[in-house]
Chains A and B, each alone.
Chain A
């Protein structure tokens, strides 16, 4: 399991207000709240400024080096799964190895601001710039 360098919020903490996570750039890590009714799933526009800051946000939440991401990451889905690079190596060369558990993130919009939320601990990092689009419907 990776250790996040950013400060983690308390699990099951109070409902998040927009101001709680509206930290200045670079992307901030802060507790998000799964039950927040204002939180809506979101996707990114390909090539947008928000997408350009995605790898940095993932790195911040994981306390790791920025991962390799597809050009259409989070474009068609609000979910992002990150795992060890070598999974392809292991699974494809006849050795059939597995890897550590993946890191799963979801993209949400809260009060017109865009956040990447780490499913493991519900911490969030804000994505800067335009290009984050709510998918509509109720928050997850």
Chain B
């Protein structure tokens, strides 16, 4: 399946079956999958594919086909990782050729198959190297469905002294119900009696933050502006996210109508919500737009392209939204799909994610856009910024540095583990994609410094709801729209989180990462 690109053919177990057939052919011609090749010698990955220490039996529920697994060993799995990395990893030349026979498992070997280099900011070049059990990755669910209370947490400090607050709540959710009445900015002081700031029982804290459906937990909360804490009991439910929860308009202080769209997730159901939002804004004849993507971690690149078109319209016609670039071994052919590398265009019609395919999209035809950003603004969200800049649309940034992920990968299964390794970078119509430190408002003075964009560094404001014109980031954007200046640069206290200096926190929406969020 195509990650970040969306349009390419899935890499499934079905593909692996074909790979195995090719592997057998290659092996019969001299390749030996049972030993480690000599240092510096790399056999095709197909020689080692689907030869597993613990082969899966039966049918893959994701494909309806038999698993391709054949009896193998840890060494054959490690050999596959080594060859696959050498062939498709974007920075394969940075990878030391570690002996696959020296590692007791693929899970021990995979982490060394990455660049250990640093980027221009002195941070790890590769921060996106991970795995999931294939059974987990291939699971299906209703779009946006997650167990929770309807509160999205922001981790301002994941390690003691921890600081966890509510970024936003979903209407109609347990968090927003009158019995709880949780709202943006409320700070979590304790969960089930465990102190959030310094408690050592991380498991209890994580279980409360990322619950299973039906589970009940007691939260001690300090509401924004309150002086005394209160305790609420929350019961988790299966909830469906609303990725575009707020659309509104404001009268510009210097004239015109300013539209505002809160866009939190590039999931499939976002397509129909975005079409409705931009249709409404077009009907309102907005002359400027504030796109709030501060908590949008990405998703379908195709939906990002649709958003960019809906912002800019005609100027995007026939232009490239993003082009994938692989390592120098694959300058013209995508090594995963084996198709010629083709750009993702600006989509002017719907793609069928949740709106019937082929319908003309509404567009505002704007020459500039204001984007509200934070450390969680990542990947496809950054692609909106970069794609628009590539066709000359002015992007004015208010907030803090984005995550910095101009990269993508095709999740690839081998023997029941799905591996994620950076395989391509995305560049815009102007050929630019060098933003591994993200995008940063030009007057920022703290945190990770990325590609400077016009705009203002403004701290996240938890004292106002998102979409409130008094909220600091939106207020700054509205002031800029009216011809005003930036507020005085906020003294953001940058924190080191996951190897990056962040000027604000990370919003975590998923229960899957629970053990990687809170540290002892």
Contacts and interface: CB of A to CB of B under 8 A. Distances in A.
A89 B513 contact: yes
B270 to A, nearest CB: 10
Contact of A64 (B140, B142, B378): B140
B449 to A, nearest CB: 18
A18 interface: no
B379 interface: yes
A82 B2 contact: no
B299 A70 contact: no
B335 interface: no
B518 to A, nearest CB: 14
B503 to A, nearest CB: 14
B353 A102 contact: yes
Interface in A1-60: 1-5, 58
A138 B241 CA distance: 29
B61 A99 contact: no
A101 B296 CA distance: 19
Contacts of A1: 9-10
Nearest to A100: B1
Contacts of B403: 94, 96
Interface residues of A, number: 44
A96 B268 contact: no
Interface stretch (B22-30, B131-139, B197-205, B360-368): B131-139
A99 B269 contact: no
A71 interface: yes
Given A2-B64, A96-B380, A65 B139 contact: yes
Contacts of B298: 90-91, 95-98
Interface stretch (B77-85, B184-192, B504-512): B504-512
A88 B62 contact: no
Given A94-B498, A96-B405, A83 B268 contact: yes
A3 B354 CA distance: 20
B440 interface: no
The residue in A69, A81, A91 that gathers the most chain B C-beta atoms within 10 A of its C-beta is A91
Interface string B1-33: 111111001100010000000000000000000
A93 B129 CA distance: 12
A95 B268 contact: no
A127 interface: no
B342 interface: no
B326 interface: no
A58 B144 CA distance: 17
B451 to A, nearest CB: 17
Q: What is the interface of chain B mostly: helix, strand, loop, or mixed?
A: loop
A79 interface: yes
Contacts of A58: 140
The residue in A58, A68, A82, A93 that gathers the most chain B C-beta atoms within 10 A of its C-beta is A93
B266 interface: yes
A94 B506 contact: yes
B145 interface: yes
A70 B64 contact: no
Contacts of A96: 4, 297-299, 378-382, 403, 405
Contacts of A79: 272, 354
B2 A100 contact: yes
A119 interface: yes
Contacts of B382: 96
A65 B61 contact: yes
Contacts of B300: 98-99
B65 interface: yes
A113 to B, nearest CB: 23
Given A95-B405, A99-B1, A86 B353 contact: no
A98 B2 contact: yes
Nearest to B138: A84
B51 interface: no
Interface of B: 1-6, 9-10, 14, 61-65, 128, 130, 132, 136-146, 237-241, 265-269, 272, 296-301, 352-354, 356, 375-376, 378-382, 403, 405, 408-409, 411, 420, 498, 506-510, 512-513, 516
Given A3-B65, A84-B138, A92-B508, 17 more contacts: A3-B64, A63-B64, A68-B140, A69-B141, A82-B140, A83-B268, A88-B512, A91-B266, A91-B299, A91-B509, A92-B265, A95-B298, A96-B380, A98-B2, A102-B353, A103-B140, A104-B352
16 contacts: A2-B63, A3-B14, A67-B141, A70-B240, A73-B142, A83-B267, A84-B137, A85-B141, A88-B144, A88-B241, A95-B130, A98-B301, A98-B379, A98-B408, A102-B268, A104-B352
